[in-house]
């Protein structure tokens, strides 16, 4: 860890440990955006800046009692079941504890439960997102400089190449992320969230800034996966007019996929290949990976399979002998078997059910701020964005934190809509997005 990386890590840890909740949450994001994964200290395990912030923030919510204020939900339970099952299956298959896989589980749990405690209600979330829009401005400027020069300004920290990757004559910007698809996925995951703030006059200014910068990051990444995820965000918001008839929308999607299966010469999962013919990218590789995964079902369904046994799934072998797994669902199945994949699907289902209950609570209460419904809808759209993006990438660098913080926010805000409205927040520093101290009451001003 060099001087700059160490200085930023110390500052961010101080903010995460002592600042008001929303600013502590922003320290998390700042460690993702402005410190590369190469900035680490080997303490028996690689402690990156993000991991230092993770540990600091988790200790903070334990000491301050913020974690005890979290109301345990079915989503929390299924997340722990999913983590535990994946790890147990891996140990039973290999006979050893994979420290990397264990680190992935610990990272996910720390980020998720820390954000469950830091983002407790709508006012916390609005304050966090307003700060996010400001936090993206310097990062977008650095991305712009990389796009114009072809040189990554974060290379001085290590972990990312100095010269950016080119595709079809365009720079694929990655910023502090290890790949352009990681940076693009981060941007795409915030498009649907910032979009909801454009519809309210109180937040429209910085909502437009955040949406524009998120889309800018996606475009500069020149990656088809994040671009498809951003398109998904727009499509999900286009369903707002059908929000009272989502059952019809869901069955329409199922019927469309079934129809495509009947008329396409290839299986329906080769739709990614067809889409890449329009927006670019290597959609065939993703479709082929799913195809091989399903064809080898008998090899992985019980307890997963060694990654080395996937070497013949594609023309190119990775240095570790297996295929390049660019699909999170495939990765779950290979590492944790069918039971882990089923539990992950149940986790997603529980998340949407909780969001749906939260939406019903807002709609049935005339004293609620109507804007709350749009915020919950935006969070539901964001979960959908990740579900589509998981077909294109495994979050293997710091981008995993965006997934867990956003699903944590969706759970916390949904629960806050279901709880009694006149319950004060446990921390006196909670304030509205305009700066005036408030309790958790409707009709924010």
Q: Which tens digit of pLDDT belongs to each residue from 390-402?
A: 998 999 889 899 9
What's the domain count of the chain? 1
Structural domain for 91, as ranges: 3-418
Dist. CA 275–CA 282, nearest whole Å: 10
**Each residue of 121-159: pLDDT tens digit?**
899 999 999 999 999 999 999 999 999 999 999 998 988
The confidence band for 281, taking pLDDT boundaries of 50, 70 and 90, is low
Q: How many CB atoms lie within 10 A of CB 176?
A: 29
Q: Which of 131, 16, 107, 88 is nearest to 395 (CA)?
A: 107
Q: Is residue 347 part of a domain?
A: yes
**Each residue of 4-36: pLDDT tens digit?**
989 999 999 999 999 999 899 999 999 999 999
Dist. CA 264–CA 116, nearest whole Å: 43
Mean pLDDT (whole number) for 257-283? 82
**Each residue of 165-223: pLDDT tens digit?**
887 778 999 999 998 999 999 999 999 999 999 999 999 999 999 999 999 999 999 88
Cα–Cα distances in angstroms (integers) from residue 57 to residues 70, 112, 230, 432, in the given order = 15, 11, 30, 22
Taking a C-beta distance cutoff of 8 angstroms, is the pair 132, 210 a contact? yes
pLDDT of residue 436 exceeding 50, the answer is no
pLDDT of residue 438 exceeding 80, the answer is no
Q: What percent of the chain has pLDDT over 70?
A: 93
Tokens of 363: 């709609």
Cα–Cα distances in angstroms (integers) from residue 305 to residues 31, 114, 300, 327, in the given order = 34, 32, 5, 16
Q: Is residue 430 part of a domain?
A: no
Taking a C-beta distance cutoff of 8 angstroms, is the pair 143, 175 a contact? yes
Tokens of 84: 């535990």
Cα–Cα distances in angstroms (integers) from residue 279 to residues 171, 193, 228, in the given order = 16, 23, 8
pLDDT for position 273? 83
Q: What is the dihedral of CA 322, 325, 331, 335, to 10 degrees?
A: 10
The β-bridge partners of 172 are: 165
Q: Which helix or strand (DSSP H or E) is residue 220 part of?
A: helix 204-221
Q: Is the dihedral of CA 378, 410, 27, 394 positive or negative?
A: negative
Taking a C-beta distance cutoff of 8 angstroms, is the pair 295, 304 a contact? no
**Each residue of 60-106: pLDDT tens digit?**
999 999 998 898 999 999 999 999 999 999 999 988 888 888 888 99
Q: Is residue 295 part of a domain?
A: yes
Q: Is residue 392 part of a domain?
A: yes
Q: Phi-psi region for residue 60, left (φ > 0), alpha (ψ -120 to 50) or beta?
A: alpha
**Each residue of 220-237: pLDDT tens digit?**
998 888 999 999 999 999
Q: Is residue 436 part of a domain?
A: no
Dist. CA 410–CA 416, nearest whole Å: 10
What's the chain's average pLDDT? 88
> Scanning the structure block, which residue is given the tokens 């264990």?
102
The confidence band for 378, taking pLDDT boundaries of 50, 70 and 90, is very high
Q: Is residue 323 part of a domain?
A: yes
Q: Which of 426, 405, 355, 333 is nearest to 89 (CA)?
A: 333
Q: Is residue 335 part of a domain?
A: yes
pLDDT for position 289? 93
Q: Is residue 423 part of a domain?
A: no
């Amino acid at each position: 860890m060099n001087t700059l990386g160490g200085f930023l890590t110390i500052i961010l840890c101080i903010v995460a440990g002592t600042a008001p909740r929303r600013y502590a949450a922003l320290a998390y994001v700042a460690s993702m955006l402005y410190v590369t994964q190469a900035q680490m200290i080997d303490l028996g395990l690689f402690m990156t800046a993000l991991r230092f912030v993770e540990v600091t923030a988790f200790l903070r919510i334990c000491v301050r009692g913020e974690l005890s204020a979290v109301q345990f939900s079915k989503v929390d339970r299924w997340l722990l079941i999913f983590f535990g099952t994946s790890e147990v299956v891996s140990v039973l298959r290999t006979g050893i504890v994979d420290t990397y896989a264990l680190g992935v589980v610990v990272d996910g749990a720390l980020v998720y439960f820390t954000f469950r405690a830091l983002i407790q209600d709508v006012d916390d979330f609005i304050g966090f997102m307003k700060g996010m829009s400001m936090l993206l401005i310097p990062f977008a400027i650095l991305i712009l400089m990389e796009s114009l020069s072809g040189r990554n300004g974060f290379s001085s920290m290590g972990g990312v190449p100095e010269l950016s990757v080119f595709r079809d004559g365009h720079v694929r910007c990655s910023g502090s992320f290890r790949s352009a698809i990681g940076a693009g996925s981060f941007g795409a995951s915030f498009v649907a969230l910032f979009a909801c703030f454009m519809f309210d006059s109180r937040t429209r200014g910085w909502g437009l800034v955040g949406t524009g910068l998120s889309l800018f990051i996606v475009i500069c990444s020149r990656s088809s996966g994040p671009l498809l995820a951003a398109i998904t965000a727009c499509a999900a918001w286009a369903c707002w007019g059908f929000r009272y008839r989502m059952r019809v929308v869901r069955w329409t999607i199922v019927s469309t996929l079934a129809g495509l299966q009947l008329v396409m010469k290839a299986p329906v999962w080769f739709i990614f290949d067809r889409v890449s013919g329009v927006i670019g990218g290597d959609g065939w590789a993703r479709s082929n990976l799913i195809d091989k995964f399903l064809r080898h079902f008998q090899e992985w369904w019980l307890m997963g399979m060694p990654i080395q046994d996937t070497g013949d799934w594609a023309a190119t072998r990775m240095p570790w002998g297996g295929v390049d797994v660019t699909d999170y669902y495939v990765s779950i199945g290979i590492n944790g078997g069918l039971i882990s994949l089923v539990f992950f699907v149940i986790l997603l289902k529980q998340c949407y059910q909780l969001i749906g209950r939260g939406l019903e609570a807002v709609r049935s209460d005339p004293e609620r701020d109507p804007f709350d419904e749009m915020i919950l809808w935006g969070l539901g759209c964001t979960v959908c964005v990740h579900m589509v993006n998981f077909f294109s990438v495994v979050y293997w660098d710091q981008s995993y934190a965006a997934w867990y913080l956003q699903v944590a926010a969706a759970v916390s805000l949904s629960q806050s809509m279901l709880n009694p409205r006149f319950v004060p927040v446990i921390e006196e520093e909670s304030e509205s997005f305009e700066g005036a101290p408030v309790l958790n009451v409707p009709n924010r001003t």
